[in-house]
Structure 1
């Protein structure tokens, strides 16, 4: 079985080791005997994105995000075709914002997004920084998700976007509604760096399984020994939430 992963703009969007999410997806699939292909896709590369099972896009500084925003506009139909084909899209921080309708800076400049996610983002004067613990429903089971956020944008969800998680510790989308990220179809948008999937293998496996099921609805994953990861997650939860 093959899993094809596209890493979007790895040379421009890689704050806080976001490329680690690609590595985790690759390794957890390979450990199950899958043939994994990872392609790096940046400005000037235009493959058919619907051919990929998973697309990953990280966060970046303002200058890099400006370059990516302009390039993404040229890829609108290509990305929409991937969404329609059921490709799993993992978008972190700046990548998350750019999939929405627009990002309006604190000075009033409006940067257009792709409008694929029903969200918009407003720049705030105060940065939201620190460890995050949130609760996410994965296949009907509540899981504690650990991550790290550093953003000034406040993201507001429209009626077609549902929050990905409920914040237990940290700011999340806006610091006001106690929600973090967006889940819209097979798109996962989040502010959590870390890299997120290294700290939360259950979420990585959920994404891999969704990606496989776009071709075979009966596809499932063999279990891996995640005892160390689970104990680490529980220890962080205790330190950040239970003892706070």
Structure 2
């Protein structure tokens, strides 16, 4: 069983590697493959990657990553269509949209895999709590971003917000979920904060009867945080 981390030297702004370290604790036999910025992504040619993972990067790094991935746009589309499992966190989803628009109206053309686009506002950082549902699982976490995403994700959203925002402040529909491609702005690290989602992800990776590392502690922490988030929600 293999996890490929795309560009860990660039995509680790929000402690994103903590998610992978936790998965390794849950399943010690998982092999972690790190693909650096000048390497071809391994999942393009290999069919044995259980999870392709990308975390949050700076805006400048986003532009570098877009140029590195553009030659593989069609292969990435095919992998999504063929149910390769992906987990993209933070602003990494923007790389797969149509473009990223700067404050001056200039645009960085992205891969165009999803019919969405991002707008940057580097003088207005959005920070918020998030509580919502992914399928039958309550998801919680945090948001911290300079960009908002636009486009219709009504038929392929990742989670519906109960507290907080979706891909922008005008919607409650957060992220993208198409086949086995999962992407969300929610940070945390999300897998440590959400044990039931982590169990679901491990099953999607092909782990039979997955067991959580520090199960008692992470579930207890999740329940405490969930209660606090719901108290906050009731006050708004």
Matches within 5 A, 1:146-157: 146-157=140-151
> How large is the RMSD of aligned CA atoms in angstroms?
2.2
Which one of the candidate residues 106, 126, 129 is aligned to 2:127? Answer: 129
Which one of the candidate residues 64, 77, 80 is aligned to 1:80? Answer: 77
Query: Secondary structure in 2 aligned to 1:16?
Result: coil
CA distance in 1 between partners of 2:210 and 2:17 (Å): 25
CA distance in 2 between partners of 1:176 and 1:159 (Å): 12
Match of 1:216 in 2: none
1:53 Cα offset (Å): 1.5
Match of 2:223 in 1: 234
**Structure 1 residues 116 and 206 mapped into 2: Cα distance closer, same or farther (>3 Å)?**
farther
The number of aligned residues is 228
Match of 1:55 in 2: 52
**Structure 1 residues 161 and 64 mapped into 2: Cα distance closer, same or farther (>3 Å)?**
farther
Match of 1:169 in 2: 163
Match of 2:65 in 1: 68
Note if 1:181 corresponds to 2:175. Answer: yes
Q: Does the CA-based 8 Å contact 1:56-1:91 persist in structure 2?
A: yes
Q: Does the CA-based 8 Å contact 1:147-1:192 persist in structure 2?
A: yes
**Structure 1 residues 162 and 179 mapped into 2: Cα distance closer, same or farther (>3 Å)?**
same
Query: Secondary structure in 2 aligned to 1:126?
Result: coil
Q: Please, which runs of 5 or more residues in structure 2 have no aligned partner? A: none
1:159 Cα offset (Å): 5.8
Deviations 1:39-66 (A, max 9, x none): 1112221144143111111111112112
Deviations 1:54-87 (A, max 9, x none): 1111111112112112112123234334324422
Match of 2:112 in 1: 115
Q: Does the CA-based 8 Å contact 1:24-1:204 persist in structure 2?
A: no
Match of 1:211 in 2: 205
Note if 1:221 corresponds to 2:209. Answer: yes
TM-score w.r.t. the length of structure 1 is: 0.84
Which one of the candidate residues 10, 14, 18 is aligned to 1:12? Answer: 10
CA distance in 2 between partners of 1:153 and 1:128 (Å): 8
Matches within 5 A, 1:92-103: 92-103=89-100
Q: Does the CA-based 8 Å contact 1:118-1:161 persist in structure 2?
A: no
Q: Does the CA-based 8 Å contact 1:147-1:196 persist in structure 2?
A: yes
CA distance in 2 between partners of 1:66 and 1:199 (Å): 30
CA distance in 2 between partners of 1:59 and 1:72 (Å): 16
1:119 Cα offset (Å): 2.2
Q: Does the CA-based 8 Å contact 2:195-2:222 persist in structure 1?
A: no
Which one of the candidate residues 143, 153, 156 is aligned to 2:137? Answer: 143
Q: Does the CA-based 8 Å contact 2:19-2:192 persist in structure 1?
A: yes
Q: Does the CA-based 8 Å contact 1:132-1:146 persist in structure 2?
A: yes
Q: Which range moves more in the overlay, 198-207 or 222-231?
A: 222-231
